[in-house]
Chain A
Amino acid sequence: EFQLMESGGGLVQPGRSLRLSCAASGFTFDDYAMHWVRQAPGKGLEWVSGISWNSNNIAYADSVKGRFTISRDNAKNSLYLQMNSLRPEDTALYYCARDPSTGAGPFDYWGQGTLVTVSS
């Protein structure tokens, strides 16, 4: 069965960094583009970043560009999100999602999410 499991969330002070991980299992990881999508408390879904299967194509939402870096290690079946210069508005549940297409969705499987709280 397909599984995506996020980890690495937690409470962090504004301006600090955090690295999220997403471990994939049950499918051929390098056949798929992958994305991070977040949901702030009481808000809707917001796409954060996406990466192609071979890491050649990477994109970011304007709200995180220059602060967040997406990466993947196909040998470890893992997706990452390095988050620097964190702001209170980055507080959200962060999901990783699988993309069977070219990197613009759809997202056919999602993890359960990892919670990031940015607060002093």
Chain B
Amino acid sequence: QSALTQPASVSGSPGQSITISCTGTSSDIGNYNLISWYQHHPGKAPKLLIYEVRKRPSGISNRFSGSKSGNTASLTISGLQAEDEADYYCCSYADSSPVVFGGGTRLIVL
């Protein structure tokens, strides 16, 4: 049950767009569309941002978007805001386990 690979950190200035990648294998991301993304502010409950690769739950800003190509999923945040500074996690269904998370990416808003 190896974790999906995410960059440790990304940064951007307010108003810019950033993309966080999440790389897996043909046993998880590459073969399934059960990919979700979560935002986690320390001390708070994680929040679902994206599910099934690109769908947004009710109430989630359209500044958050998801995509997938091959074994890599991506989360794009446009129009960066200070409150977007948080940890972001990808998650996928996997052959070896129902669920596997990425290692997490710290987003720094400059």
B104 adjacent to A44 (CB under 8 Å):
yes
Residues on the B chain within 8 Å of A97, using CB: 46
B109 within 8 A of A: no
Residues on the A chain within 8 Å of B110, using CB: none
A45 adjacent to B48 (CB under 8 Å):
no
B34 within 8 A of A: yes
B20 within 8 A of A: no
A47 adjacent to B46 (CB under 8 Å):
no
B48 adjacent to A108 (CB under 8 Å):
yes
Nearest CB on B from A56, distance (A): 14
- A47: which of B40, B47, B100, B104 is its contact (CB, 8 Å)? B100
A45 adjacent to B45 (CB under 8 Å):
no
- Interface size on B (CB < 8 Å)? 26
B38 adjacent to A45 (CB under 8 Å):
yes
Looking at chain A's contact residues, the main secondary structure is loop
With contact pairs A44-B89, A44-B103 given, residues A103 and B45 touching in the complex (Cβ less than 8 Å): no
Q: Looking at A59, A95, A103, A108, which has the most chain B CB atoms within 10 Å of its CB?
A: A108
B40 adjacent to A106 (CB under 8 Å):
no
B104 adjacent to A59 (CB under 8 Å):
no
Residues on the B chain within 8 Å of A61, using CB: 1, 97
Nearest CB on B from A81, distance (A): 15
- What is A's interface to B at a CB cutoff of 8 Å? 35, 37, 44-47, 50, 59, 61-63, 95, 97, 101, 103-113
Provide a sorted-by-A list of 9 A–B residue pairs whose CB atoms are within 8 angstroms: A37-B46, A47-B100, A50-B99, A104-B93, A105-B36, A106-B51, A106-B91, A110-B45, A112-B44
